[in-house]
Structure 1
């Protein structure tokens, strides 16, 4: 990797691009799940993603060790369960509250990293966590009632945080593509098991299939690979802060394509999240602790093309 463009910087840009893609899917998912049950949608989406990735990344998949396959299975189960809990929780709570509660993974990630792996974080990271959380609250929170839906959504946030921590700990540049492929297969299986009781419902027309294919290939296969590769070069907490850009992009696309109006809440919330990005990506690099965590092990720099 060229010294003029460090792997960490490229990973950040890639992860921001992933959040933009995720943000673009909100209005598509909202329309699709009106006729296709959530578990069915997730099962078909990740099954397509897994098949595409297995064809494209066959060599990298076969090169995984047994340990790496098991890591991929565990991470896939975490992510698949998180998707299901978030989707079921959304059926019992407002979308705005769900968005905020899901975003609490930005707080849970450094806590889990500290408890499980004794990670020490620079003060700039904790400032960025607080700013990102405040931005999420301004963007999405319009009253919070704690009930069944909120509890499920908080559970999904905890699983997302564990997934982020796990990727940050075990993903390497060399194993990223194979690891992402294993995760896609496992997510499809987890969602498929949840879809079995009611039978599998497929999209009804070409427009729905086009949306599903976009979410399977671009927001599924490509995004899952990009997240896995990026987290081989980023500390888990910084990755979580970068991923809080998702609701900012969701608001942007809702205004651009969904017919929603630009509000002061969107501007203030988005500004807080962007400030968090600035703190962790620019100011954080100036501290000795951040510089130490920025330098990946030498083996991470030898990635597959």
Structure 2
């Protein structure tokens, strides 16, 4: 029997690191695309590109979708669409650095949704992680002159995190019943269709496709959605779950660094403290959960 060549763990770590880096750059892609494209046309275009690429890559696994697959994929796709919808509109009203860390709160929210929907008990470390993250949220939104301020953008950021938490929770449940690749393709197509359903009646139709419009949308569709998904899937095969969880949490850090570099966003001491606390809560929750899964 021919032995399968073992892939070193560092290759998996590198792929996940690239995934986190690309996802962090996705916040910049969203902000840039909004300069030339309305939010829901951008979402529709992003997921249209990702859907086409995934169909081309996995065409042998597709075809003959069952009612069950369409139902599950549509539910997950709805939550994914809501997450990106809140995040994209939130990017208009909020600094990208703050939005990146608010989005990361979805990790903290997942155990509580699982508790509500599936009646599974909440682990003690999740309660501790949530407390740390809430402290981080307070610091992240604290202003020395006005105190704690929570505006429209912050609300959208929290709703974004809740929607992504629901998407993660439903994916974890439904992916056990049907093929995850087919499920992913369906949810991408659903996001694309929902984007057009909202954009066409409520947003102005783009009159021309410019380079300034095309580059960020292509980045979001090709790299931040399609390639990042593939790298995550493959990378997690060759490294441990706890290492993967910690590496992927770097998405928020990269998103903040890019926001400072590209948009010259000002980072205050309160922002740094809040970001550190949120990351600590996210890493604690992810690491403890992943370690438990590995065991």
**TM-score bracket, shorter-length normalisation:** 0.7 to 0.9
Q: CA deviation at 1:68?
A: 2.5
- Match of residue 26 from structure 2: 25
Structure 2: give runs of 5+ residues left out of the alignment.
238-242
Q: Distance in 2 between matches of 1:129 and 1:17?
A: 27
Judged with a 3 Å threshold, the aligned counterparts in structure 2 of structure 1 residues 129 and 168 are, in CA distance, closer, same or farther, namely farther
Counterparts of residues 195-210 of structure 1 (less than 5 Å): 195-197=199-201, 198-201=203-206, 204-210=209-215
Tell me whether 1:294 sits opposite 2:286 in the alignment.
Answer: no
- Match of residue 302 from structure 1: none
Counterparts of residues 51-200 of structure 1 (less than 5 Å): 51-62=52-63, 65-91=66-92, 102-135=103-136, 137-139=138-140, 142=143, 143-145=148-150, 150-172=154-176, 175-197=179-201, 198-200=203-205
Q: Distance in 1 between matches of 2:120 and 2:278?
A: 23
- Match of residue 298 from structure 1: none
Judged with a 3 Å threshold, the aligned counterparts in structure 2 of structure 1 residues 245 and 270 are, in CA distance, closer, same or farther, namely farther
Q: Distance in 2 between matches of 1:82 and 1:119?
A: 24
Q: CA deviation at 1:91?
A: 4.2
Q: Distance in 1 between matches of 2:255 and 2:191?
A: 23
Paired residue secondary structure (1:84):
helix
Q: Distance in 2 between matches of 1:63 and 1:228?
A: 24
Say which is worse superposed, 217-226 or 34-43, in terms of deviation: 217-226
Q: CA deviation at 1:16?
A: 5.8
CA-to-aligned-CA distance 1:235-270 (integer Å, 9 cap, x gap): xxx999976543321112233444456654565445
Tell me whether 1:251 sits opposite 2:256 in the alignment.
Answer: yes
Judged with a 3 Å threshold, the aligned counterparts in structure 2 of structure 1 residues 274 and 80 are, in CA distance, closer, same or farther, namely closer
Tell me whether 1:221 sits opposite 2:226 in the alignment.
Answer: yes
For the 8 Å contact 1:97–1:141, the answer to whether it is kept is no
Say which is worse superposed, 215-224 or 40-49, in terms of deviation: 215-224
Q: Distance in 2 between matches of 1:15 and 1:169?
A: 23
Query: Normalised by the size of structure 1, how large is the TM-score?
Result: 0.72
For the 8 Å contact 1:43–1:189, the answer to whether it is kept is yes
Q: CA deviation at 1:55?
A: 0.9
Paired residue secondary structure (1:77):
helix
How many equivalent pairs are there? 285
Paired residue secondary structure (1:62):
coil
- Match of residue 240 from structure 2: none
Query: Normalised by the size of structure 2, how large is the TM-score?
Result: 0.74
Instruction: Please provide the CA RMSD for this pair.
Output: 4.2
For the 8 Å contact 2:87–2:160, the answer to whether it is kept is yes
Higher RCO, 1 vs 2 (CA within 8 Å, ≥6 residues apart): 2
